[in-house]
Structure 1
Amino acid sequence: MSKYPATVGDIEFDEKLDDPAFEKCSREKRMSIQYYQGARQFDYKGEKLAIIEKLEKEKISSGTKISGYITVRFLVNCEGKTGLFRVQQMNAELKETVPDKILGEKLLRFTKSLDGWLPKEIRGLKTGYYQYLTYKIEDGKVSEVLP
């Protein structure tokens, strides 16, 4: 077994962070594509607008007036289920930091709650794919969801 992932950017299972019940695609369909490998289409039921509407209903914000970015990256498997979530926080100058751990946890829970991810199929084979959502934070509130 190699100490390097099969593809740059693959997320390896971490028993401290990940749900052991989450399964990647079966061995024959094990390929998981990255956003830079053709996973450009936003494959969510209702598109990005549905995510924004749900986020607005949740009214997630920070108790402080921080600004920056919180990115949640994860894998969508062949059944449209999600797992292997990773969070990265950056300040407004794009320097990695943890400006608000509680806000990061709230956005992680919100992202995990999204259940409209659509399975992807390439040339008749179901495949998993990596997805990310970046939340732009201004004055402690989410001002934009990227991509």
Structure 2
Amino acid sequence: MKFFTILFCLVSNILFAQNFVLPQGEYMDTTSVFHSDCAPPYAIYYYQVQAKYPVSSPALLTEARAFLKQNSNSIESSGYITFRFFIDCKGSMSRVQVLQTDENYKTTHFPKEYVNSLYLFVKTLDKWPTQLQIQNIKNINYIAFISFKIKNGQVDNIIP
């Protein structure tokens, strides 16, 4: 019985690993999904390997607004919600950190449902560049981010 309790705790952490607030930051997803043929997760950023998401910011903005219109409650807040995450060599997203600030860049918290809706939108993005290399490291994993500028509860801009 003890084995099944431990197994349940481990599995539930993997399946429901969202909204952890730790001293080093707040995380939506703490799972690490790296394929065995990918390089170790070095701190390589998307701009070091020209791995910007291939859809333009205005097109993403349109998609995000349509997605939120269907999946979110309205809010009156303004500020920024940034998702920072790893993309592995196969295009899988993991270790998602969420940063939330008000218009004056002071830490704040938007309504959980709204942040979760934005997170669901980010998870739909599946065109991340893959099979990249830098110097002599092939099949790299890299760190990417998407920041949403919120004005009076509406997504006003997406960066980058």
- Which residue type is aligned with residue 97 of structure 1? T
Q: Which residue, out of 105, 109, 115, partners 1:94? A: 105
* Count of equivalent residues: 132
- Which residue type is aligned with residue 140 of structure 1? G
- Which residue type is aligned with residue 32 of structure 1? Y
Q: Secondary structure at the match of 1:29?
A: coil
Once the two structures are superposed, residues 21-59 of structure 1 have per-residue CA deviations (whole angstroms, 9 ceiling, x without a partner) of: x532547721434338724x3532334444234213324
8 Å Cα contact 2:146/2:158 also seen in 1:
yes
Percent identity at matched positions? Answer: 27
Q: Which residue, out of 15, 30, 39, partners 2:40? A: 30
Q: Root-mean-square deviation (CA), in Å?
A: 2.7
Cα 1:64–1:53 shift into 2, 3 Å: closer
Aligned ranges 1:1-147 → 2 under 5 Å? 15=14, 16-17=17-18, 18=29, 23-24=33-34, 26=36, 29-35=39-45, 38-39=48-49, 41-60=50-69, 63-119=74-130, 120-123=132-135, 125-147=138-160
More helix by share: 2
TM-score (normalised: structure 2): 0.68
Cα 1:42–1:28 shift into 2, 3 Å: closer
Mapped to 1, the partners of 2:155 and 2:51 lie a distance apart of 20
Cα 1:19–1:69 shift into 2, 3 Å: closer
TM-score (normalised: structure 1): 0.73
Q: Find the structure with the greater CA-based Rg.
A: 2
Mapped to 1, the partners of 2:113 and 2:147 lie a distance apart of 16
Mapped to 1, the partners of 2:46 and 2:123 lie a distance apart of 22
Structure 2: which 5+ runs fail to align? 1-12, 19-28
8 Å Cα contact 1:34/1:131 also seen in 2:
no
Structure 1: which 5+ runs fail to align? 1-13
